Amino acid sequence: MDLQSIMANHTLYWVLFFVIAIASWIVSAELERRIKKYSQVKLTMTGKEVAEKMLRDNGITDVQVISTKGQLTDHYNPANKTVNLSETVYNQANVAAAAVAAHECGHAIQHDKAYAPVKLRSALVPVVSFSSKIVTWVILFGMLFVESFPILLEVGIAMFALTTLFSFITLPVEVDASRRAMNWLQESGITDRETTEMASKALHGAAYTYLVAALSSLATLIYYILILMGGRRD
Ligand SMILES: [Zn+2]
């Protein structure tokens, strides 16, 4: 099977990929719009202060809140126990910054409480990061030699399936971190009814980007499987 027949046989899939690309673009544009909008709504505490208070309130004393470069670079690093907030989130006092800061602390709490999906996700990290380095090449050569040497594509697909699994395990982890963030923001009185809703909308926007990424990964996986089946059938 050559590249031309792959493309002809899977027109539906090219349409699907196009739809996913558009969805992904809309979702990230919408997230950016929400973050921008809720950055205008001022609060009294900066992202850094919100994060430190949330950790303290949850009895976590060994996690540091630090500032990191870039935009939307916010993350929790379990290796050195740091909540990394982008400069704007770290320094500014508004609803978007509080939502992001609290969400990242949600991840710190998940690790502290040994939340099961997080443990599973952490266990997969080394395998996924290794396979993501070579999976594209394995699949590319696997497609070229699908008729004479199908095992290569099978191995590539197995590796890719791991990254797909990983992106789906990420979903409950992200939703749970946001849930912890929202509960605490409201309980602590940092946000009132109106601003809690805004924070929730900002975090929902972020969750959709993970959802689209997971679906896109699944669509790609099915596409590779179809190629493998087609190659075997020919
Ligand atoms: Zn997250």
Give per-residue pLDDT as tens, 150-194.
899 999 999 999 999 999 999 999 999 999 999 999 999 999 999
Q: Which residues surround ligand 1, an ion (CB under 5 A)?
A: 174, 177
Q: What spacing in Å lies between the alpha carbon of 210 and ligand 1's midpoint? A: 9
Nearest alpha carbon to residue 197 among 209, 207, 185, 206: 185
What pLDDT is attached to residue 4? 61
Residue 12 above 80 pLDDT?
Answer: no
Q: What spacing in Å lies between the alpha carbon of 99 and ligand 1's midpoint? A: 11
Q: What spacing in Å lies between the alpha carbon of 225 and ligand 1's midpoint? A: 30
Looking at 58-115, list the stretches that DSSP marks H as alpha helix, in order from N- to C-terminal side.
Answer: 87-91, 95-112
pLDDT higher at 226 or 135: 135
Provide the angle, in degrees to the nearest 10, between the axes of the packed helices 193-233 and 150-187. 170
CA 132/CA 152 separation, integer angstroms: 15
What pLDDT is attached to residue 9? 62
Catalytic residue among 104, 147, 154, 174: 104
What pLDDT is attached to residue 147? 87
Residue 71 above 90 pLDDT?
Answer: no
Query: What type of residue sits at position 75?
Result: H
> Do the beta carbons of residue 163 and residue 131 sit within 8 Å?
yes
Find the domain containing 7 and state its range. Answer: 3-233
Nearest alpha carbon to residue 62 among 86, 82, 84: 82
Residue 10 above 80 pLDDT?
Answer: no
Q: What spacing in Å lies between the alpha carbon of 203 and ligand 1's midpoint? A: 9
104 noted as active-site residue: yes
Q: What is the pTM of this model?
A: 0.87
Question: Considering its fold, how many domains does the chain have in total?
Answer: 1
CA 193/CA 57 separation, integer angstroms: 20
Residue 129 above 80 pLDDT?
Answer: yes
Q: What spacing in Å lies between the alpha carbon of 150 and ligand 1's midpoint? A: 38
